[in-house]
Amino acid sequence: MRISSILLLLGECTVPAAAQPATARIPGLGVAWDGRSGQIRPIHGIPGAAILGEGTRNTRFTAVAISPRHDLALGVSAGEGKLQAVNLPSETVQDVPGVSPAPSRLIFSPSGTAALAVGTRLQVLTGLSGSPEVQDLATPPESGTPTAIAVSDDAQLVLFSAGSGDTASTWLLAPGYAPVQLALSGPIAVAAFRPGSRDAAGLAPNGSIYRILNTGVPAEVRQVYNGEERTADPVALRLSADGSRAYSANRLGTIAVIDFASASIETIDCGCVPTGIEPLTTSNLYRINEISDRPVMLFDVSTPAPRVWFVPSDAPSSDSKWSGQ
C-alpha cells in the first residue's frame, strides 16, 4: 500500500463523526523499541496501513523489552545498569530492586505476567505492574550462558537449555528447587511456553520441534516435527493460545506455522531478517523484526493462510510521547 494512502487512512481515523465528542484516536498496534534512537515508539494504524509514531524524548535506556500486553516495558538504564519498569500508559518509571546490574537479556512470559532477567544471576520477576518481586533461580552446574530460555506465565517454571553438541542439555528450573534435566538428546535453540499454561516447546538448531507436556517434574517430552530447512536455524518460537500450533522464524526469513495434530507446516517468506515473534495488541498479529532503516514486518495468523504486512521505515524520531497508540 502506498504511503499517501496510509497517511490518508490514518488522517480519516482521527476525524470525529458529526455530533460526537472528539475522542476518536488513531488505532494502535502497540509499541516497539527503536534501538537507533533509544526510544519506545508506537505503531499507529492497522495491518496494511500502519506507520511508526513519535517516540520518547528520554534515551536513558540501553536495552528495552516490551510486555506482550503493551502496558509495560523493562529497561536497562544507561550508566548504572539498573533494571527499571516503565508503565507505558502513565509514563512513570520505577526501579526494580534486587536485580543484578546490567542484565544481558530480558524475557517476558507469553502473556507478560512474569519476566526473566539474565545476567550474573538468573532471576524471575513478578508483580511488575505493582510491587515487583525478584527470585533467584538455581542453574545447572557450569551451564554457562543459555542458548534458549523461556518462563511460564505463573513464573513457576523456566525452560533452560545450554551448551552445544555432546555437552548440550535442557533443564526445568523452578524457584526453590534444584534443576531437573529433561530427556532431550540434543541442544535447543529457542523455547516457548503456551500462554497461561506450563506446557512448553523447544526448537532444535536442525528444525526439530519438541513438546514438553503437562510440564512438571519430570516432564513428558515428545518430538512432534522432524527438522528440515524451513524450520532450521531458528531465531524465535511462539505457541498459539490453545497450544495447537507453533510459530517459528528462522535466519533465512522463513516464518512457519506448524500444526501439532496433523504435523503439517505452512510457511511464508517475510523478506526480512527476523529477530523474534512479538505479540502486538491485535490478536494473532506479531512483530518479527526490529525498527531499523528497513520496514518493520508484521506476521498475521488471523486467517487460514498466514500473511505478512509491513510498516514503512523512517528516520529515528527525537520527539516525545510513547503513549499515542
Name the residue among 184, 186, 194, 180 with its Cα closest to residue 150. 194
The answer to whether 96 and 132 are in contact (CB under 8 A) is yes
Q: Which residue has the higher pLDDT, 201 or 214?
A: 201
pLDDT digits (tens, 9 = 90+) for 286-300: 999 999 999 999 999
Confidence label for 207 from pLDDT (cuts 50, 70 and 90): very high
Are the C-beta atoms of residues 168 and 160 closer than 8 Å to each other? no
The 3-class secondary structure across the chain, one letter per residue, is CCHHHHHHHHHHHCCCCCCCCCCCCCCEEEEEEECCCCEEEEEEEECCEEEECCCCCCCCEEEEEECCCCCEEEEEECCCCCEEEEECCCCEEEECCCCCCCCCEEEECCCCCEEEEECCCEEEEECCCCCCEEEECCCCCCCCCEEEEEECCCCCCEEEEECCHHHCEEEEECCCCCCEECCCCCCCCEEEECCCCCCEEEECCCCCEEEEECCCCCCEEEEEECCCCCCCCEEEEEECCCCCEEEEEECCCEEEEEECCCCEEEEEECCCCCCCCEECCCCCEEECCCCCCCCEEEEECCCCCCEEEEECCCCCCCCCCCCCC
**CA-closest candidate to residue 101, choices 124, 85, 73, 78:** 78
* Run of H or E including 10: helix 3-13
Is the confidence at residue 56, as pLDDT, over 90? no
What is the rounded average pLDDT for all residues in the chain? 87
Residue 277: which pLDDT band, with cuts at 50, 70 and 90?
A: very high
pLDDT class for 12, splitting at 50, 70, 90?
A: very low
Give pLDDT tens digits for 180-197: 999 987 889 999 999 999
Report whether the peptide linkage leading into residue 146 is cis, meaning its omega lies within 30 degrees of zero.
no
Span of 7-16, 176-185, 275-284 with lowest mean pLDDT: 7-16
pLDDT band, very low/low/confident/very high, at 6 (cuts 50, 70, 90): very low
Higher pLDDT, 56 or 88: 88
The predicted model scores a pTM of 0.87
- From the list 125, 120, 118, the residue with the least C-alpha distance to 191 is 118
How large is the average pLDDT for residues 222-246? 96
- Domains for the chain: give ranges and CATH numbers: 67-136 (no CATH), 144-269 (2.130.10.10)
Using one digit for the tens of pLDDT, what is the confidence trace for 157-168? 999 999 887 788
Name residue 108's beta-bridge partners.
115
Reported as a pLDDT band with limits 50, 70 and 90, residue 59 is low
* pLDDT the model gives residue 15: 39
Distance of CA 270 to the CA centre of its chain: 17
In this model, does residue 148 exceed pLDDT 90? yes
* 284 or 166, greater pLDDT: 284
The mean pLDDT of 232-249, rounded to a whole number, is: 97
Question: Grid coordinates representing 260?
Answer: 501439532
Select the more confidently predicted residue: 142 or 232: 232
Q: What is the mean pLDDT of residues 147-175?
A: 93
pLDDT at 18: 39
Least confident segment among 130-139, 150-159, 307-316 = 307-316
For residues 70-96, b (16+ Cβ closer than 10 Å) or e, as one string?
A: bbbbbbbbeeeebbbbbebeeeeeeeb
